Structure 1
Amino acid sequence: MAAEQRKLLEQLMGSSTTSRSAQLSLNDPKVCRSYLVGTCPHDLFTNTKQDLGTCPKVHAEGLKVEYEALSDREKQRYGFEYDYMRDLQKYIDDCNRRIDAAQRRLEKTPDEIRQTNVLLKGIADLSTSIECGLLEVEILGSMGEVSRAQDELFRVRQAAQTKAERERELKALSDTSGPSGHQKLQVCDVCGAYLSRLDNDRRLADHFYGKMHLGYAQMQYYSSSISNTLE
């Protein structure tokens, strides 16, 4: 049971849950400090292979609002950011260990993995750009904006050429790296999932914008931001 189920349960339980939450204070050990500061890791991976289940601590929306209203100095006095950073780092470290293990299984060099992930991300971004550009051309054409439509079409064609070049680079890298048994696989350096180089653009985009990938990306972003703030 995760975030959506938690909300449903709270609605079903009604005022009794609200009453108990109202009795808690910010520094109560039963309160989830990660939820107060940002996003609790238990809420990031619902219905994925990394689902962490329900957080054992209380997520009280009223306390979150109260905490967010505090001044920076008051927040520093509580020190919840340190707790949040430690919580995030635990899951980030676990993910990094999985990534290292997956990379060793593929027997690929770190540089080959980095190049592959950069190319995959670039291809996915270009595909999205091309789709949006074609839609813009259609809209401009229907509005009679012929000149602007032609300019946008030119940009779409340039993006398509760049995408074709990146796909050729990816194929060349695929043909020269990794053992033959794993030649079509690579590891995502954010979430540790295996990706196939044979996947089409839509499947790759689904991965990069999927809940598990975005969850770990969000963890890394929050951890880095808090670390910089506390320095």
Structure 2
Amino acid sequence: MDAMRKQLDVLMGANRNGDVREVSRKYYDRDVCRLFLAGLCPHDLFQLTKMDLGPCPKVHSLQLRKDYEEVKAKGTENYDRELEEMIDRLIVECERKIQRALKRLADEDAKAAIAISVSEVTQTDEVLQLSKEIKEKMKEVDIYDFEGKTDDKIKALEVVEELRSKRADMQATLLLDAFNKDRASLPQPTPTPQMASVPAPAPPDARTQEMINEKIKKAEELGEQGMVDEAQKVMEEAEALKKLAARREPTSDSTKYTAADVRITDQKLRLCDICGAFLSVYDNDRRLADHFGGKLHLGYMLIREKLKELQVLNVMYPLLL
């Protein structure tokens, strides 16, 4: 019920039922969410993911945010520090997950995984322009919400989703290009006369390949939910299936393949430096687009952008007084 109530609040406003208390409430009341007033509440992020915090127990009101912003402009109130501290905690925990995942993989193979700078390879002028359009459209959503124009708000949200989908497709293409170069740079085993005489193993049978694909998909979903250890375990199961299928295929002399040769074929996992989700250099553009459009990635991207904005304001704020 709380989740349904929250969805109705998003579409129609928290005071959709004409709650008298909402009219008399002040922005500084204890039951008003200061983080929402400052621009971002963590309870609105990561919905339906592993990091879902559920509905915020405090009031979210655009009218009270407007009241707060008017007072803030006069220099008498500022909740930015509280918001910055909350965002910083979320980002620090995300960075810890990334480092734990890298260390675990490095213990098995120092080159098994790296944290690719998604934020660098996917930041073109076109992507930045789409992000700007999304931000402007979200401001329109807030205006329509404040004015009670539900139909206009829904239409604006639909445009936001279209822009996000377009941006995700564009980012997926850019990352796929980076992964193509990444694959080309992976070290290959030095061929020897013995290895040259060994035929390449046949691909797994259809059923085994289906099981492998299912595990890879599950690992990606777990990674997007922040379940790093679980995702790695499932990926290991997928790799084990691949190796098992290869062993079942007859070869002239399987002893010619060394452990180092096998590890080289496993060097494909990458970690998104924005949300910490597992990516594969063998992912196709559709899988990568799903990652960029996922709530976990969008949530972390939003808070990282908000942190940069707050840091700039911290520098500029004393100069404006």
* TM value normalised by structure 1: 0.67
- Count the aligned residue pairs: 187
> Matched residue of 2:279: which SS?
strand
Q: Quick check: 1:3–1:46 contact (8 Å CA) kept in 2?
A: no
1:208 to 289, 292, 300: 292
Matches within 5 A, 1:92-103: 92-103=91-102
The structure having more radius of gyration, on CA atoms, is 2
The match for 1:170 is 182
Identity %: 34
For 1:164 and 1:37, locate their aligned partners in 2 and report how far apart those are by CA, in whole Å.
36
- Offset from partner CA, 1:62-97 (integer Å, 9 cap, x none): 2012223445233xx212111111121121111111
Q: How well do the aligned residues superpose, as a CA RMSD in angstroms? A: 3.5
* TM value normalised by structure 2: 0.50
C-alpha spacing 1:31/1:184, structure 2 compared with 1 (3 Å): same
> Matched residue of 1:102: which SS?
helix
For 2:2 and 2:276, locate their aligned partners in 1 and report how far apart those are by CA, in whole Å.
22
For 2:274 and 2:176, locate their aligned partners in 1 and report how far apart those are by CA, in whole Å.
25
Q: Quick check: 2:176–2:284 contact (8 Å CA) kept in 1?
A: no
> Matched residue of 1:186: which SS?
strand
Matched, 1:83 2:82: yes
Query: Which residues of structure 1 form unaligned runs of 5+?
Result: 127-161
Matched, 1:40 2:124: no
For 2:299 and 2:29, locate their aligned partners in 1 and report how far apart those are by CA, in whole Å.
27
Cα offset for 1:163? Answer: 8.8
The match for 2:8 is 8
> Matched residue of 2:115: which SS?
helix
Q: Quick check: 2:116–2:272 contact (8 Å CA) kept in 1?
A: no
For 1:185 and 1:228, locate their aligned partners in 2 and report how far apart those are by CA, in whole Å.
35
Q: Quick check: 2:271–2:278 contact (8 Å CA) kept in 1?
A: yes
C-alpha spacing 1:204/1:229, structure 2 compared with 1 (3 Å): same
> Matched residue of 1:31: which SS?
coil
Q: Quick check: 2:49–2:295 contact (8 Å CA) kept in 1?
A: yes
Cα offset for 1:22? Answer: 2.5
Matches within 5 A, 1:1-231: 5-8=5-8, 14-15=17-18, 18-70=19-71, 72-74=73-75, 77-107=76-106, 108=110, 112-114=114-116, 117=118, 121=122, 166-175=178-187, 180=264, 182-231=266-315
C-alpha spacing 1:97/1:4, structure 2 compared with 1 (3 Å): farther
What is the identity, as a one-letter code, of the residue corresponding to 2:273? D
For 1:119 and 1:180, locate their aligned partners in 2 and report how far apart those are by CA, in whole Å.
26
Q: Quick check: 1:2–1:42 contact (8 Å CA) kept in 2?
A: no
Q: Quick check: 1:89–1:223 contact (8 Å CA) kept in 2?
A: yes
Query: Which residues of structure 2 form unaligned runs of 5+?
Result: 128-173, 189-262, 316-321
Q: Quick check: 2:33–2:59 contact (8 Å CA) kept in 1?
A: yes
- Offset from partner CA, 1:128-184 (integer Å, 9 cap, x none): xxxxxxxxxxxxxxxxxxxxxxxxxxxxxxxxxx999645412124457xx558522
Q: Quick check: 1:187–1:193 contact (8 Å CA) kept in 2?
A: yes
